[in-house]
Amino acid sequence: MTPTEYEYLRKFLKDNSGLDLSADKQYLIESRLLPLARKAGISGIAELVQKLQGGSRQLITDVVEAMTTNETFFFRDKVPFDHFRDHIMPEIIKARASKRSVRIWCAAGSTGQEPYSLAMCLKEMSAALTGWRIEIIATDLSQEVLEKAKAGVYSQFEVQRGLPIQMLVKYFKQTGETWQVNPELRAMIQHRQLNLLHDFSQLGTFDVIFCRNVLIYFDQDTKINIFNRLARQIEPDGFLVLGAAETVVGLTDTFRPIAERRGLYKPNDPRAAAAKPVLAGAAPRLAVMAGR
Ligand SMILES: C[S@@+](CC[C@H](N)C(=O)[O-])C[C@H]1O[C@@H](n2cnc3c(N)ncnc32)[C@H](O)[C@@H]1O
């Protein structure tokens, strides 16, 4: 790969998915894109770049998806789900006692283990939620992972990662070598394609936003931009949950960490955040990925 081709791909990925690759990630690009090129009958990186420059829509989607990291598992990191069960939901149940509704957004939910883990937590506390309207919206950039999330079918290996055996027995049905999430749990989640670089105000406001292990791939300006826009989509008493390697500290004052609850944040004042200018550089600009 020539330096010019690498620079083109770096910029292409940053503009289309937010992925911020350092100057020495040629091997990563090659390991992910050469198999894709081969499958598409493309001779190598040079021809791939030419075709991207030509605007091949399917190829643009395929390249962006091939470069995403979709690693996830049930109840990943455990602590956020303990917080969800023991702190977030008890507060929400109190605060929304008359409205009896809760909206949860699982941004970058990948193949579904994260939103299904949240759905299982809610099912486990169903006695306190009788008569409540529960909405879980799971979004991801990648259509491929969303298809898997929607189907809710997991291998033996996948269900052995993080999922307690009682939950497996209770909420999944075994079919041959795979396990499928039961229809009731699947019906709790709406799956939608969404690029976090794009406007997401149409989703409305949420009581809880899980946005974990995706912002780590973005540069600082993109993170700030997304935090500021997330702040507008969260109720003033809502919660933002980030991944273990992510924080708002030093980036924005739209959220503040909750002491002694790692990964949990509260919005400071979303209305004030709304008045802040959105930084250039991460502005929504990819029409190609929209509306799919
Ligand atoms: C490492 S997974 C994290 C999954 C889950 N949140 C977790 O913590 O287990 C990151 C996900 O972010 C998605 N992603 C990457 N860039 C994105 C973007 N610009 N907008 C929305 N999702 C994106 C990827 O497709 C991938 O499924």
Backbone angles phi, psi at 205, to 5 degrees: -105, 155
**pLDDT for 136-190, tens place per residue?**
999 999 999 999 999 999 999 999 999 999 999 999 999 999 999 999 999 999 9
pLDDT-based confidence at residue 288 (cuts at 50, 70, 90):
very low
Cα–ligand 1 centroid distance for 245 (angstroms)? 14
Domain 3-67 matches domain 79-271 at the CATH topology level: no
3-67: in CATH 2.40.50? no
Per-residue pLDDT reduced to its tens digit, 218-261: 999 999 999 999 999 999 999 999 999 999 999 999 999 999 99
Kindly state if the Cβ of 18 falls inside 6 Å of ligand 1: yes
Residue 29 CA to ligand 1 center (angstroms) comes to: 18
Measured in angstroms, how far is the CA atom of residue 251 from the centroid of ligand 1?
A: 20
Bridge partners, 181 (sequence order): 172
Locate the domains of the chain by residue range: 3-67, 79-271
Pocket flag, ligand 1, residue 114 (CB < 6 Å): yes
Whether 83 lines ligand 1, by a CB cut-off of 6 Å, is no
Q: pLDDT tens, 20-66?
A: 999 999 999 999 999 999 999 999 999 999 999 998 889 999 999 99
CATH match for 79-271 among 2.40.30.10, 3.40.50.2300, 3.40.10.10, 3.40.50.150: 3.40.50.150
